A and B are shown apart, each in its own frame.
Chain A
């Protein structure tokens, strides 16, 4: 048998993609593990090994635990809000509706925007004086106060308003409309993480919705119709028939949400840089600052290795799932 000429072999097609991938992706991944045991500062040509020093320091660093905690909060919120919200939206939008395309586009439009644009638009929304949110609160409060002052009779509406205002006061919220315009959403350590998460969820819902919509399209209509003939409607139909059928997609979304929450960087970096007082710190941001502001590349690499150790579980799970699907 004649040997295949090189140009007709898989190597001719694969060498360049593989070379690039090895140099820029595969080699760096392993290189980070080595860096984590070094004291490289990012500039000097000479550096030494410090053994487990970086990890020892990391596990005594309160900011690291704060970042880890915030990443976990991020994950819990991602699993709770965009996942159920996206499923709910997809289920509703899978029904025949007038103008359903407009509705779908409004939910997944944020996906097309760059994280930078999202961060800047939300930075504006949260700005105390010029932003959308405080201005809305001030207008709403001004209306409430006006309605209360000018209609002091004992009507149901007005007593409800009075109760609402008293409730807001008891929460320590500014009831004076002008004071509402000084609420610093990103400057207050108690509010900042929630404010960033709101922006993150605003983006994520559309993504989950698209995945579930695609899943709903692949459902066998006969199975659903058979259940309907048997009398399943509304919640029963959804929880007992449709939701179990969507399980593979739900699994996929949980994996993606986990990986995404531990990767969150752009929003935090642009909106708060992890502040105030590390209250919005996440691992990615903490690592970036360690590397490119404090020039402690070894320490930053140790953070990356810990992060990899956490996300390797969902990644391995996903890989196994893909391989199984391939074989099955």
Chain B
């Protein structure tokens, strides 16, 4: 849009942006202070000493290292599964003309919007019946399955922009469907896949509820439920809890700043997150 903003509006915008950054900036400052200093003198005071001890204790003693590792063990296989299966489904829904293509697309879309409360109890029961409750498999299988709805929805709309003539000419050259999928559809869907991958990584990595429902053992907990655990354990040791929280955000921040364009694109492509 053209035209300049009134300086007063620009100033308010800056003030508001700084206010929005204050919680995280404040958390960053607190993570370098000692508990005694904070308790005695409050946050808005000059720190008596700067220390890295909170980070060291969170990493070693409070188990952030283990929790972060668990997060990756759960997130990466789920992500690969979602991307592979949803791109296959998207390809099938676009490439083949069959009566069920549109109803199936709607099925993926509709159940993606079902509130998680409707799934919670049967998924818990199912994971028990399949014998995967309280193993890494439970969240991996569930995330892969549930995120298929959103990913298929977005990728199918992306795949529709591929001109059908590209497939047809390859068929004349004797290529089978799997070759078409691998050699033509995947490379052309890649920007969409990148957008979906960025979002799905963030969502699965940040998931709290399903880790709470499907995992009981502390050794298996990802960083989200692990952190909530720390709060019970270190009750009011805020410098430590805040330091641990900040470490938990590093992986998603890296993905976000590395692939920011795709993240925003993904959010606006399908604003129906589940």
Contacts and interface: CB of A to CB of B under 8 A. Distances in A.
Interface of A: 7-10, 12-14, 16-18, 20-21, 23-29, 31-32, 35, 42, 89, 92-97, 102-103, 106-107, 109-117, 119-125, 127, 129-132, 134-136, 138-139, 181, 202, 205, 207, 210-211, 214, 216, 221, 224-225, 228, 252, 256, 259, 262-263, 265-266, 269-270, 283-284, 287-288, 291-292, 297, 300-301, 303-305, 307-308, 311, 315, 318-319, 322-323, 326
Given A17-B85, A24-B146, A139 B209 contact: no
Given A21-B145, A112-B256, A308-B114, 14 more contacts: A10-B93, A10-B101, A20-B145, A21-B111, A25-B119, A25-B148, A42-B125, A95-B4, A132-B22, A228-B2, A270-B228, A284-B117, A304-B115, A304-B117
Contacts of B107: 21, 26
B122 to A, nearest CB: 4
B228 A20 contact: no
A135 B42 contact: yes
Interface of B: 1-5, 9-10, 13-14, 16-18, 20-24, 26-27, 30, 35, 38-39, 42-45, 85-86, 88-89, 91-93, 95-96, 98, 101-102, 104, 106-111, 113-126, 141-142, 144-146, 148-149, 152, 176-178, 181, 202, 205-209, 212-213, 223-225, 227-228, 231, 236, 238, 241-242, 245-246, 248-249, 252-253, 256, 263-264, 267-268, 271-272
Contact of A28 (B10, B126, B268): B126
Given A319-B109, A323-B106, A115 B208 contact: yes
B172 to A, nearest CB: 15
A24 B123 contact: yes
Contact of B208 (A114, A125, A322): A114
A27 B125 CA distance: 12
Secondary structure dominating the interface of A: helix
Contacts of B88: 13-14, 16-17
Contacts of A139: 42, 44
Contact of A17 (B18, B35, B148): B148
A122 to B, nearest CB: 7
A291 B121 CA distance: 8
